[in-house]
Amino acid sequence: MISSYIGYYSLILGFILSIILLIYSIFCFKKNNKKINQNIFSILFLQFFTVVLSFISLIYSFIVSDFTNETVYNNSHTTKPLFYKITGTWGNHEGSLLLWLLVLTLFIFLFIIFSKKQPTKYRLLSVFFQQIIICGFFLFLLSTSNPFNLLFPAPKEGLGLNPILQDPALAIHPPILYLGYVGSSIIFSASLASLIQNNINSKWAKHIKKWIQTAWFFLTIGILLGSIWAYYELGWGGFWFWDPVENVSLMPWLCLTALLHTIIVLEKRQLLKSWTLILSIATFTLSMSGTFLVRSGILNSVHTFANDPARGVFILLFLFFLIILSLILFFIYQEKEATPQKKFFLVSKETSILVNNWFMMYFLSVVLIGTTYPIFLEVMVDEKISIGPPFFNKLLIPFLTFFLIFMSLGPKLNWIKDNYKNIKYSRIGLFLICILISFYLIKNTSTEILFTSILGGAALYLLLTTIREFLVNKHNISQTISHFGFSLFVLSILLNSLFSSEISANMKIGQEVIYKKEQIKFLSLETHKKENYKSVIANFEIIDKKKNSIYLYPEIRIYNQPNILTSEADIKSTIFFDKFLVINLLKGEEIFNVRYQTKQFMIWIWISTCLISIGGILGIFKRL
Amino acid sequence: MFGKKVKLRLLFLSFIFLILVLTVFLILKSLEENVVYFISPTEIKNLSEIDSKEKVRVGGMVKKDTIKLNQNEISFVITDFKNDINVIYSGAVPNLFSEEKGVVAEGYLKDRSFFNADKILAKHDENYMPPEVKEALEKNK
């Protein structure tokens, strides 16, 4: 009880500090001091501290299962293991918003510490814009989603956390993803500040690049974690479903990736200033709308635990406010291209980066349309539709081929002006060899053999180019590793989708199924009693062509609070393939629905995504 | 009429515009081809003609005592309390597939009373009812 009071009042205190900061930063801005007033640091720290305090008191309420707190009551249970009591803090709407706020205040505090070399006025303005966002989130939290609502009389037992969320990967997925989302808020505030200060130059680009890389790194890892979780927990054996909830995290990622490349042009060539700004605004807007779409209940999926229209309306209004504000500022302060026109040449590094941006924008618009069109149609004509993977695959994959080719040529070009005649014939030869290799590899599988081999060839070509780059040219390791990771990513997805196979059957104990020369035997079944669930573990033996057998132990968990079944797939990973087996109850506990999959090169999808993000982190530490 | 520079720029702009139009056309076209409509058993009864090549989603409640199994197939009846449709499916089912629970099946209509499903959708909450299903059920109460 007392912890809820502490949490609530420190939130209010934080809100008041936020308003003080709004006024005070403008006051300091007007005064033209050389240095930032020490008070700004103190207030920012104090604000961060109040949110931390409030967050800790919420965690405490979860740990001691204090059911006088409504959030705890709705999402926790005394029998839940301690680890999931703690992670349950941000496994719900209120707690996760408090986490947003925590990261927001943390980032602006870090920003002000790490931006000492930048102009004072610019830093003050960044604080001002960031405080507008923070203020909005405080208001949102206090008015529609207070995590510290009290219940009286206190219930004896809580409702429990959705069991599929009781999982280590999903425990850290939201905080990491939020670091990425919120990181884009700093980029947003800083861009607006530097727009007003007319401060968009190389020096600024260099400084904001670190923040872009940080946000990008966390966003990538956050999406990866969510995807790994979906792979083993949702029981379909896929890693990406083009589900709206996944798409809303992919959209800011695409935008941020475009920004990550554009900022280099700004740094090196002082070009594309307005475009950089638009991208920063768009990235943050997409992050915010992601939160809006997931949290408002418009998307029906795992993530919507509570549907409350008031919340949606608030975020939507706030979002509109921020967009309009930034657009107005953009049009007022946008620098007229008074500087002597710097020329863009057709064959140059900046053009190739611009091409990257066009591709990103195309991918983004496809995902955006595919995600929002069903919502739009339902609102307009009350027709219910869904858009499945074929739409995205059909529109994205053909362009991916060109994208890969540009990706292997682009980074080699020089700044300002290069000559296309520098592209040697040996390159074209290598490219053709790559296509032949990939044709040879996949000739027995696909129906669209020509198209797939060109795609595979392009990915292979990029792979070889980046390896060569890595060996010959060591000065841009972060880029090389990321691009290498991306080519590996495309290749492993391609091979995965071409060679994976699956069978499902309804089986009793003792039965066996033969599939593609593999014998699948259902050996036995055991039941265990666990802390907050009953576990039914099956034992399967898989005997392959060479009479080697492996054993798989898929599990069904019957949770008691709330009363939900989950299937835990058993996965045996090797470097070439994953064996994936999941079972489901059908009727009573006799016949099980068994799904057995062999997923080729699955582990390489995860490894390559890690490589992509490692490239990002190397970029941050380069020449700090 | 125009200088060389202006001409070049105009050419460039119209090129960009053309690409934009093409992109939008491409997206919309493939949107049209890949949309999956959601229908209820009652709506199926009232359909004027059945297109067995068009993918649709059918939603409702799994009727009591209708799940039948053999090694490869599952058959059951989806109801919206007014009309029923028989579903045949071979494949994996989600956790919460059981009798008297909401369900959404994706596949092709054979005729007005038979549906070949190739996917049963997973929803992970015991109280959760896909909004489409909820609405379809409410309409018929």
B128 or A253, higher pLDDT: A253
B92 in A contact zone (CB under 8 Å): yes
Share of chain A above pLDDT 90, in %: 40
The verdict on B17 and B49 lying in the same domain is: no
Provide the pLDDT for residue A9: 95
Q: Which residues of A touch B73 (CB under 8 A)?
A: 506
Band of pLDDT at residue A109, cut at 50, 70 and 90: very high
Q: Which residues of B touch A162 (CB under 8 A)?
A: 124-125
Provide the pLDDT for residue A384: 77
CB A108 within 8 A of CB A17: no
Band of pLDDT at residue B9, cut at 50, 70 and 90: confident
Q: Quote the minimal CA–CA distance from B59 to chain A in Å.
A: 11
Provide the pLDDT for residue A308: 61
CA dihedral angle for residue A174, residue A176, residue A178, residue A182, rounded to 10 degrees: 180
For A167-226, the pLDDT digits (tens) are 888 889 989 998 999 899 999 999 999 999 888 889 999 999 999 999 999 999 999 999
Whose tokens are 């994953």? That residue is: A578
CB A44 within 8 A of CB A109: yes
Q: Quote the minimal CA–CA distance from A374 to chain B in Å.
A: 9
Integer-rounded Cα Rg, in Å, for chain A is 26
Shortest CB distance from A369 goes to which of B27, B73, B92? B27
What mean pLDDT, rounded, does chain B reach?
A: 81
Q: Quote the minimal CA–CA distance from A336 to chain B in Å.
A: 19
What CA–CA distance (Å, rounded) separates A43 from A127? 11
A13 or B26, higher pLDDT: A13
Provide the pLDDT for residue A546: 85
The answer to whether B122 contacts A394, with C-beta atoms less than 8 Å apart, is no
| Sequence letter at residue A104 | L
Provide the pLDDT for residue A207: 92
Domain with B65, as residue range(s), is 37-139
Residues 6+ apart with CB under 8 A from A475: none
Evaluated on CA atoms A157, A162, A167, A168, the torsion sign reads negative
A345 in B contact zone (CB under 8 Å): no
CB A371 within 8 A of CB B11: no
CB A138 within 8 A of CB A11: yes
Provide the pLDDT for residue A209: 93
CB A187 within 8 A of CB A282: no
**DSSP assignment of A558-589, as one string?**
EESSS--EEEE-EEEE-SSEEEEEEEEEEETT
Peptide bond into A562 cis (omega under 30): yes
Best mutation target among B6, B8, B9, B31 (most A Cβ atoms within 10 Å) is B31
Q: Looking at chain A from residue 215 to 234, which residues have their Cβ under 8 Å from any Cβ of chain B?
A: 234
The verdict on B4 and B72 lying in the same domain is: no
Q: Give the number of A-B residue pairs with CB atoms closer than 8 Å.
A: 100
Q: Which residues of B touch A563 (CB under 8 A)?
A: 126
Q: Looking at chain A from residue 73 to 132, which residues have their Cβ under 8 Å from any Cβ of chain B?
A: none
Residue B104: pLDDT above 60? yes
CB A266 within 8 A of CB A167: no
Number of separate domains in chain B = 2
For A38-67, the pLDDT digits (tens) are 889 999 999 999 999 999 999 999 999 989
Residues 6+ apart with CB under 8 A from A105: A14, A44, A47, A48, A51, A134
Provide the pLDDT for residue A381: 77
What CA–CA distance (Å, rounded) separates A332 from A326? 10
CB A159 within 8 A of CB A72: no
A564 in B contact zone (CB under 8 Å): yes
Q: What is the mean pLDDT of residues A481-486?
A: 94
The verdict on B73 and B117 lying in the same domain is: yes
B5 or B45, higher pLDDT: B45
Provide the pLDDT for residue B138: 67
The answer to whether B132 contacts A595, with C-beta atoms less than 8 Å apart, is no
Show the tokens assigned to A101.
Answer: 């706020």
What CA–CA distance (Å, rounded) separates A390 from A410? 30
The verdict on B29 and B89 lying in the same domain is: no
The verdict on B77 and B14 lying in the same domain is: no
Q: Quote the minimal CA–CA distance from B115 to chain A in Å.
A: 18
Residue A151: pLDDT above 50? yes
DSSP letter (8 states) at residue A74: H
Provide the pLDDT for residue B124: 45
Full-model pTM: 0.91
Can you give the CATH number for the domain in which B78 is found?
2.40.50.140
For A336-362, the pLDDT digits (tens) are 655 555 667 777 888 889 889 999 999
Q: What is the mean pLDDT of residues A136-150?
A: 91
Show the tokens assigned to A389.
Answer: 């993977």
A388 or A27, higher pLDDT: A27
Q: Which residues of B touch A366 (CB under 8 A)?
A: 27
DSSP letter (8 states) at residue A622: T
Provide the pLDDT for residue A253: 97
How many Cα atoms occupy the beta-carbon half-sphere of A409 within 13 Å? 24
The verdict on B19 and B66 lying in the same domain is: no
What are the DSSP E strand ranges found in B24-101? 35-39, 55-62, 68-69, 74-79, 84-89
Reduce the DSSP state of residue A243 to 3 states and report it.
coil
The answer to whether A391 contacts B96, with C-beta atoms less than 8 Å apart, is no
The verdict on B19 and B42 lying in the same domain is: no
Integer-rounded Cα Rg, in Å, for chain B is 23
Q: Quote the minimal CA–CA distance from B129 to chain A in Å.
A: 10
Q: Which residues of A touch B131 (CB under 8 A)?
A: 300
Provide the pLDDT for residue B51: 82
Q: What is the mean pLDDT of residues A120-138?
A: 94
Share of chain B above pLDDT 90, in %: 10
Whose tokens are 């059911």? That residue is: A67
Provide the pLDDT for residue A566: 82
The answer to whether A506 contacts B70, with C-beta atoms less than 8 Å apart, is yes
Q: Looking at chain A from residue 291 to 310, which residues have their Cβ under 8 Å from any Cβ of chain B?
A: 300, 302
The verdict on B60 and B5 lying in the same domain is: no
Q: Quote the minimal CA–CA distance from A372 to chain B in Å.
A: 12
Q: ipTM of this model?
A: 0.81
Peptide bond into A398 cis (omega under 30): no
For A372, the enclosing helix (H) or strand (E) is: helix A349-381
B48 in A contact zone (CB under 8 Å): no
The answer to whether A513 contacts B71, with C-beta atoms less than 8 Å apart, is yes
The answer to whether B93 contacts A565, with C-beta atoms less than 8 Å apart, is no
Best mutation target among B6, B20, B30 (most A Cβ atoms within 10 Å) is B30
| Sequence letter at residue B53 | K
Q: Where are the alpha helices (DSSP H) in A145-272?
A: 168-196, 202-233, 244-269
Question: What are the sequence ranges of the domains in chain A?
Answer: 1-166, 168-336+347-406, 501-603
* Maximum separation of any 2 CA atoms in chain A, in Å: 82
Q: Quote the minimal CA–CA distance from B1 to chain A in Å.
A: 24
What mean pLDDT, rounded, does chain A reach?
A: 87
**A538: phi then psi, degrees, rounded to nearest 5:** -100, 155
| Closest chain A residue by Cα to residue B28 | A369
For A452-482, the pLDDT digits (tens) are 888 999 999 999 989 988 888 777 888 899 9
B30 in A contact zone (CB under 8 Å): yes
A597 in B contact zone (CB under 8 Å): no
For B47-96, the pLDDT digits (tens) are 888 888 888 888 888 888 888 888 788 899 988 888 889 999 988 887 77
Q: Quote the minimal CA–CA distance from A567 to chain B in Å.
A: 7
The answer to whether B35 contacts A385, with C-beta atoms less than 8 Å apart, is yes
Q: Quote the minimal CA–CA distance from B57 to chain A in Å.
A: 9
Band of pLDDT at residue B133, cut at 50, 70 and 90: low
Shortest CB distance from A362 goes to which of B23, B97, B106? B23
For A313-324, the pLDDT digits (tens) are 788 889 899 999
Provide the pLDDT for residue A341: 56
Residues 6+ apart with CB under 8 A from A237: A231, A502, A569, A580, A582, A595, A597, A599
Residue A446: pLDDT above 70? no
